[in-house]
Structure 1
């Protein structure tokens, strides 16, 4: 692979990782500190926890896995941390604290991507096959970030009805509330018919 092709591939991977990062962060816009932490599923899924988790995973995957440990302590993943502590924020970790943590992680991760070739070897000890390349880890992180951004989409809609791909693009049909109510009622009818 030529340097030019490798640079183009790296730029494509970074583009899609950045899209997921931006979508995830945008879901925090305009949410209160309380609502950012509210568990919206039986397993406690919440907006701020999703961002904290993705930031933590990115710090690990594009940090320690390539011998470039993220320099800040992350006590929520220490051996003595509470279970699942990377999936929620404490009362004194503000939205802005988690957001700026995520941005510092992104800068560290981006420096790793910039410094290493796509075939750079890394180690993911918690995977069954720990030997990896930067390329594989980037693909994994794109998938992980997009998955959790999707979770955040649903959580935000449950919280306050906020939907959309970005602040200026709902990515949904442009319909009024009456149309959406009828649409949901139609889907309820279909599910009732299928269940009888």
Structure 2
């Protein structure tokens, strides 16, 4: 069972931000516990064919890659994100149904551990190497806050999908 807490071990800003991001990540993982391999690939919302548990977890993994590796550090897009187009903007959600949920969760956790180190090693005021759409360069603090929001929003999607698949609610 996934153990999670939103109470930080210290009250400085970095620890609070990191704790909330980990809490959101852990919540996403908890929402996947006990789901069958078959259900993890199903899209129960008729007008949202990409909204699968596998798709959502893979999306969270690649969203973090984008914001930490690409925007903050100035790296290059990798993996399925390189295939995004205006007509097909979420390739990470499409390809996820061909990957076992256990692998997606393991990759998400490995990457999360790496990004925990990045957050610990960089000043919260560190400016991103790449600008966002409006031309401004966000800082690490903003990236963490954005990822807390993004992960939490998708946790709501995981709630809905899970309830429709097997009736499990909460977590």
* Fold match by TM threshold 0.5: yes
Q: Are residues 91 and 158 of structure 1, via their aligned partners in 2, closer, same or farther at CA, if it must alter by over 3 Å? A: closer
- Assess, with a 3 A threshold, how the Cα gap between structure 1 residues 120 and 90 changes in structure 2: closer, same or farther: closer
2:56 is matched with which residue: 50, 53, 56? Answer: 50
CA contact (8 A) 1:17 1:141 kept: yes
Compute the TM-score of the two structures, normalised by the length of structure 2: 0.82
Cα offset, 1:69, TM superposition: 4.3
Structure 1 stretches of 5 or more lacking a match?
1-6, 166-196
Match of 2:115 in 1: 109
Higher RCO (CA-CA < 8 Å; seq separation 6+): 2
Give the 4+ runs in structure 1 shifted more than 3 A.
79-82, 88-92, 123-126
Q: Does structure 2 conserve the Cα–Cα contact (< 8 Å) formed by 1:63 and 1:108?
A: no
TM-score, normalised to structure 1's length? 0.72
Aligned pairs for 1:167-186 (under 5 A) are none
Give RMSD over aligned pairs: 2.3
5+ residue gaps, structure 2, are: 1-10
**Equivalent position to 2:141, from 135, 160, 170:** 135
Structure 1 contact 49–88 (Cα < 8 Å) conserved: yes
Structure 1 CA distance, aligned partners of 2:74 and 2:102?
25
Q: Give 1:58-69 correspondences, 5 Å limit.
A: 58-67=64-73, 69=75
Deviation of 1:88 after TM superposition, in Å, equals 3.5
